[in-house]
Amino acid sequence: MNGTIDGFSYGLITPVAAYVMACVGSALGLRCVVRTVHHEPGWRLGWLALGASSLGCGIWTMHFIAMTGFSVAETPVTYDVPLTVLSLAVAIVVVSAGVFIVGHRGATRAALTVGGSITGLGVATMHYLGMFAMQLNGELSYNAFTVTLSVIIALVAATAALWAAVSVQGFIRTLGASLVMGLAVTGMHYTGMAAVDVHLHNGIESSSVTGQEGTSLLLPMLLGPIIFLILAAAIVMFDPVLILGDGGWDKPAKKRSKVVARGQAMPVQVSGIEDAPAPMAHSAPQAGQWSSAPPQWPAEEHAHYGGTGAGDPYGARHEAE
């Protein structure tokens, strides 16, 4: 006997909320990757870690918000806590691997292929591991074609999102890419859910189902990732590059450092003249640096001229000769 599945027990509330969380996680993740690839200075490792964690938490939060609307009429649905937590860890770790590959290698074909594949498979693994954590009075079966389609959607969405992160600059364009990725990830989830059938067990009481009920377990567990996404959003929104302009906020400091470097004095030694710093040839003379008096010949170096005019100004000695 097949169970009656309802993936929208709360109407459009759960799919809309799931899509919003997928977009938030995608926007934060992509923005952090853009910040790492296109802008300096910055803590590269920290931005990549923040982006990967935001993307993983956003996808995981999307999945389980959508799962709160999943129900089977003939049996309660509960969740195994360790497997549910493990699905969050898998989402963050596997997505991080793909993000770090693209963040360090850039938009090369090999990096996008490997990084997108790892990230897409991580999203699919998180989804089906979360499904495996469900416990009910029956068994789940999947349509192979629909499952394959959901994995393909995850791979394409992840690769396209990583390409956008390293190829598209600007906050508005990154936001647009995150909306597309949120739609793809949410579509992948509901495509995977469409592949599910529930075969109920005969003669087994529903009270024998163990674990915690969906809403009582998932809602408290969602608080942690949601709080993390709020903090990550605060960090990204107060980033100087985003507030003051992409790549222009640190230019005045760099300009000042160049001027100082060009104005440095270099020591020049001339025989018979006391050591003194002389400016570089291409630097402008400073006030008081040059004297209006004519140059003097050192007396000890020209004593063999007969003493007359030794040490006198060059013009006066020339007229005397």
Looking at the predicted structure, is the pLDDT value of residue 174 above 90?
no
Give the torsion through C-alpha atoms of 160, 166, 167, 172, to 10 deg. 90
Of the listed ranges 75-79, 212-216, 269-273, the one predicted with least confidence: 269-273
Looking at the predicted structure, is the pLDDT value of residue 101 above 60?
yes
Give me the half-sphere count of Cα atoms (radius 13 Å) on the Cβ side of residue 25: 33
Quick: pLDDT tens for 9-54: 888 899 999 999 999 998 888 888 777 766 555 577 888 888 888 9
Residues 69, 14: contact at Cβ < 8 Å? yes
Q: Is 291 exposed, middle or buried (0-12, 13-18, 19+ CB in 10 A)?
A: exposed
Looking at the predicted structure, is the pLDDT value of residue 258 above 60?
no
Quick: pLDDT tens for 183-200: 888 989 999 999 999 998
Q: What is the largest CA-CA distance in the chain?
A: 131
> Is residue 143 helix, strand or coil?
coil
Higher pLDDT, residue 257 or 7: 7
Record the pTM.
Answer: 0.69
How far, in Å, CA of 66 to CA of 196, rounded?
14
pLDDT at 275: 47
Quick: pLDDT tens for 103-146: 777 768 888 888 888 888 888 888 899 888 888 888 889 999 99
pLDDT at 96: 85
Residues 6+ positions from 317 with CB-CB distance below 8 Å = 297, 308, 309, 310
| Reported confidence tier of residue 265, pLDDT bands at 50, 70, 90 | very low
Tell me the mean pLDDT in the region 226-246. Answer: 79
Residue whose structure tokens are 């469409």: 194
